[in-house]
Amino acid sequence: MTPQRASLLPVNFEIIVFLRANRKSWDANTLMSLDVDDTDDN
């Protein structure tokens, strides 16, 4: 395991794997158009 992967939070790793598996469904413009919710769920 690379140091970069070891330092990733599990949720971020899951997002990367999901996006790579579904690459046909999105592009950079799709991601840039997302409205990120900055609220904390805690």
Total domain count, the chain: 1
How many angstroms separate the CA atoms of 7 and 13, rounded? 10
Whole-model pTM? 0.51
Tens digit of each residue's pLDDT (9 = 90 or more) over 1-42: 777 778 888 998 898 899 899 999 888 888 788 776 655 554
Tokens of 10: 């599990």
- 38 located within any domain: no
User: What's the pLDDT at 5?
Assistant: 73
**Which SS3 state, helix, strand or coil, does residue 14 take?**
helix
Q: Among candidates 39, 3, 33, 26, which has minimal Cα distance to 16?
A: 26
Domain housing 25: 3-33
What angle (nearest 5°) sits at the alpha carbon of residue 9, between those of residues 22 and 23? 10
The tokens describing 32, both together, are 């840039």
